[in-house]
Structure 1
Amino acid sequence: MSPSTGSAQHPVTADDLDLAVQSAVAVLRTAPGDAWRGRAGSLEWDCWETVEHLADDLFAYAVQLGPRKPPSAGEVPFVWESRRPGGPANAVHADRTAGPDGLLQVLEASGALLVAMVRTTPPDTRAYHVFGTSDPEGFAAMGIVETLVHTHDLAEGLGLPWAPPADLCARTLARLFPDAPADTAPWPTLLWATGRTELPGHPRRTSWRWDGRPRGERGTPA
């Protein structure tokens, strides 16, 4: 059994999420200050908007776990809106006068909110997500996917190297994409699972979704 295969059997934790966010912020801090208006990889958004979208994802997952009785049929009703036609619909927007350092502070703060909620929410808590009602571990894994994959998009747009740890990718795949190929490297497999690339014998996906339901509650299709 390879190290990545063995690690896939372990749960996804708040520490895993914190590692993903801190690693992403560290890489993005090395970007040139004038590069943030460029397109983020294959996305239609620029790099600034993509960081705002990522911060918004982490914030949204945190607030789903926040109420004492989390919502079971929809999202906590914050207002999500785009700042331009075709831009991401966010509740979280960074003050552009704060520059890239401020933008990344917004990202780090949103990540810290989700890390804290995953650490402090009872594991039997359930909250709504469109890809399946989930538990704190599931929301941590969702936050990791968003962070790793959107940092990939950003790294392409900003010209930065980005290769997250294989064991982190393996645990996240096992939690959210249990049907993903098991005989390929975890990071390329996660990119394949989220429609970013192809794998040998597996063409690039044109649509995809994860299964956020708790591990023991996957008896029926999501």
Structure 2
Amino acid sequence: MADSLVDSGDVHSVVEQAVAALRSVGEQDWQVPAGGLDWSCWETVEHVADDLFAYAGQLAADRPPTDEYVPWGYRRSRPGAPALTVHVDPEHGTAGLLRALEAAGGLLAAVVRVSPADRRGYHPFGVSDASGFAAMGIVEVVAHLHDVAGTLKFPWSPDPDVCARVLGRLFPDAPAGHEPWPTLLWATGRAELPGHPRQEKWRWYA
């Protein structure tokens, strides 16, 4: 059904909420690890911006590749850091990083909005349509904001309706009968659910 799709408006609203939440802690030290990750809070948010940019790129061509990623050049800022195409100039501080996140979210939302229904792009978890890339981008935002919020201590609880539609699009085997946001945290290996221990390995189905 059309109203069950994840769309460009969802991408925009989730990124907007994320930017507002991160802006509230912009003066804190973002060079500390994000939650249980080996990446710093800065690197984690930079990774999210990079994913949104990359997902937009996977769909942007008239005939997107369905067998490999668009060959952007990736590099790491240090051993163990995420491999990124998008690197934000640290001289611009967290305000600049958030500007890059907002811009990358806008790119993905715009590409999702104009992509024909039959357009498909590559992802290693499955060749996907625009709604799938919108859902994947949202997972990157909400899950990694949870990681960052665990360190920088700000409230983070995304729209349960969006979470429910993301679960339906990417995690069809997620257990029923639980609230959408805790279920999405379980599906991404970040929390337990009653009767369901925390997952050590997880994936989505694009």
Question: Under a length normalisation based on structure 2, what TM-score does the superposition of the two structures give?
Answer: 0.97
Per the TM alignment, residue 68 of structure 1 is displaced from its structure 2 partner at its CA by: 1.2
In structure 2, how many angstroms separate the alpha carbons of the residues matched to 1:95 and 1:8?
40
**Match of 1:65?**
59
Alpha carbons 1:80, 1:91 under 8 Å: kept: yes
In structure 2, how many angstroms separate the alpha carbons of the residues matched to 1:16 and 1:65?
17
In structure 2, how many angstroms separate the alpha carbons of the residues matched to 1:210 and 1:8?
21
In structure 2, how many angstroms separate the alpha carbons of the residues matched to 1:114 and 1:12?
12
SS of match in other structure, 1:107: helix
In structure 1, how many angstroms separate the alpha carbons of the residues matched to 2:2 and 2:181?
13
What is the one-letter code of the residue matched to 1:96? Answer: P
Per the TM alignment, residue 70 of structure 1 is displaced from its structure 2 partner at its CA by: 0.2
Runs of 4+ in structure 1 deviating by more than 2 angstroms, as ranges, are: none
**Superposed counterparts of 1:13-32, under 5 Å:** 13-32=7-26
What is the one-letter code of the residue matched to 2:39? Answer: W
**Superposed counterparts of 1:27-46, under 5 Å:** 27-46=21-40
**Match of 1:216?**
none
Deviations 1:86-132 (A, max 9, x none): 00000001000001100000000000000000000101101110000
Alpha carbons 1:42, 1:153 under 8 Å: kept: yes
List alignment gaps of at least 5 residues for structure 1.
1-6, 213-222
**Superposed counterparts of 1:65-214, under 5 Å:** 65-212=59-206
In structure 1, how many angstroms separate the alpha carbons of the residues matched to 2:89 and 2:54?
19
SS of match in other structure, 1:65: helix
In structure 2, how many angstroms separate the alpha carbons of the residues matched to 1:32 and 1:96?
13
In structure 1, how many angstroms separate the alpha carbons of the residues matched to 2:103 and 2:56?
11
How much is the aligned-residue C-alpha RMSD, in angstroms? Answer: 1.3
Identical columns (%): 56
What is the one-letter code of the residue matched to 1:209? Answer: R
Per the TM alignment, residue 38 of structure 1 is displaced from its structure 2 partner at its CA by: 1.3
The 3 A distance-change label for structure 1 pair 30 and 8 is farther
In structure 2, how many angstroms separate the alpha carbons of the residues matched to 1:180 and 1:57?
23
In structure 1, how many angstroms separate the alpha carbons of the residues matched to 2:43 and 2:151?
12
In structure 1, how many angstroms separate the alpha carbons of the residues matched to 2:3 and 2:78?
43
* Number of residue-to-residue matches in the alignment: 206
What is the one-letter code of the residue matched to 1:78? Answer: W
Per the TM alignment, residue 165 of structure 1 is displaced from its structure 2 partner at its CA by: 1.2
Alpha carbons 2:26, 2:95 under 8 Å: kept: no
